[in-house]
Structure 1
Amino acid sequence: MGGPLDYESDLVREKTMQLTVSGKQVDLSDALRTHVATHLDVITHKYFDQALEAHVTFSKARSFFTCDINVHAGRGITVRGEGEAGDAHAAFDDAAEHIATRLRRYRRRVSEHARDAGNRAKPEAGRQYVLQAEAPAEIEKQAEAHSEAEALHATIIAESDAAIESLTVRDAVMRMDLAFQQVLMFRNSKNGHLNVVYRRPDGHVGWIDPAGA
């Protein structure tokens, strides 16, 4: 029934959506995987003509389970939900409800984006880096011993490709909210400049536009 620790399965399903379900320190049962597949079908088919792929990851921390869902549907559309509960089924339901809530909020605009994905210009390629957290004193010591570029390179612990889309500010905020991100860089479709939107500590959204300076 249940698989071994760190079990991962890939299921290619109708309409070419690929579902990946993985567990970190969690024994995944057939019933749980079926519940995930069925429920995500309902959500994605309600808001998208075709969802491309979904990744669901379960983990356990002390006495509760966590679930992280990432759904990719059309170019640039990523929806993320996180949940936690006393059992894996409930943790998934919590995360799925977060996704459904975000999609309900942006129902019309998400549907338009998914349908028009093929007509939009190809996004610019970029790189995303994760830097090792260091104390200010250690950063200053590195800067004294190396050039700025060398010091920065020494602190990179992960990197990945990143797409910089041409968007309106409104659509950039929508993308940031759907993906449950704190910050998003994009090219402003109205003036062609690189812009940034971000979630402020007070809950409001900040917007940086160099063209307005």
Structure 2
Amino acid sequence: MRMIIHGRHLEVTEAIRTHAEKKVGRIKKYFNNIMEVDITLSAARLKTVPYHTADVLVYINGHKIKASSTDEDLYAAIDEVVDVLETQITKYKEKLRDDKHAGAVKKVKYNPVTKTVEKEAVRRVVETKVSPKPMDVEEAIMQLEVLNHDFYVFMNSETEEMNVVYRRRDGDYGHVEPGWK
């Protein structure tokens, strides 16, 4: 995990850098694939009260998680932003876990007569739209090999109907065409 610490209107001392690295480094235990952490520490003065802001941007698996915290004390702002990050990363990790197990989601129904809860598995159906190109069977088998798929949908140029070629378990190829003629 690469950690970059910037200061805006603030000189980042070694003590501040050490504190930020130690506190923000705690998020490693929540997620293994954290690529980079960008920490921006800033100071400003509003009327008579100085305030400090800690902005953190975490790059995980191509996604960004952003957290910000403002306090009179810079160290307190860093501590608060780490608490916010821990919550956000935990939610992100749970979302990933739930998305991976979405096919096994249970649908819960309450039966008021028997006063029981019944669970049933719900399967998602992923729809794919295909715009098949007209070609002959040999060309479709070549496309199947090039794309390294298990099957390939194409428009048969001879019959002008939708056909499928597929790779069989024995290594040969199968050809499916409609039989309603």
| Greater strand fraction, Structure 1 or Structure 2 | 2
Q: Output the TM-score relative to the length of structure 2.
A: 0.48
Using the size of structure 1 for normalisation, the TM-score is 0.42
